[in-house]
Amino acid sequence: MYEEEESLWWYKSIKPIAIDTPKEWIEEAKEIRKLRSGMHNQFSVKSTDKQWVGDLVEIVFHRYLSDMGVPHKWNDKKPVGVGDIEIGAIATDAKGSKRKRDSLITDPGIMHESHLDDKPYINQYLFGSYHLHTNETWLIGGISRANALKVARRAGPGDRIDYWVIEEGRFAYVRYYFCTPFDKWLQEVINTCGFRLSELS
């Protein structure tokens, strides 16, 4: 199957939320990344790796929830031990990847391995992607931590995750086809909190 066909099939099947991303949101994500990098002892990465993409996915998710009227807490200046975004008692960790093309169902959602193994307080992971060619952020889908632990693959220095060869650090990744599509995932999360998306404005 050609990439264009896969991309079209993915978009029609999963229907990610695609949101135009203004420059101000990107700058906000970069500032949040600077703040958090100063708070936590993370290994350095090249500036071209755009480590702020996960922070951008948080911003887009927060704004989407606000527009939908979903009660939540965004821990933009979060201490260690809380989720990026909390909907009721559900702590969510947002992960993002940059793409130069539309995301495919076979693409990996990547995180630091420690973010999977050492965060028992996280209930759900949300995967998104920032598309350089369209300046859009996609909210793609989510998966529970319990399920992520079952299906995630692990990789370290010298290993390859698709086109990316890891230089340092250890990572875990979950293919998007293991995730619940975003709209269905969000409905399930907020139903757990006792209200329905259709009732919100």
- Assess whether pLDDT exceeds 70 at residue 5: no
The token duo for 58 is 């948080």
- CB atoms closer than 10 angstroms to residue 141: 25
Q: What is the pLDDT of residues 168-187, one digit of tens each?
A: 999 999 999 999 999 999 99
Vertex 71, ends 68 and 75: CA angle to 5°?
110
Q: What is the pLDDT of residue 51?
A: 81
Q: What is the pLDDT of residues 13-67, one digit of tens each?
A: 556 899 999 999 999 999 988 887 754 434 344 443 458 999 999 999 999 999 9
DSSP 79: P
Domain ranges of the chain: 3-193
* Sequence-separated contacts (24+) of 162-167 with Cβ below 8 Å: 162/107, 162/108
The whole-angstrom separation of Cα 35 and Cα 17 is 28
Q: What is the pLDDT of residue 45?
A: 42
DSSP states along 98-153: EESS---TTPEEEEEHHHHHS-TT--EEEEEEEETTTTEEEEEEEEEHHHHHHH-E
pTM to 2 decimal places: 0.85
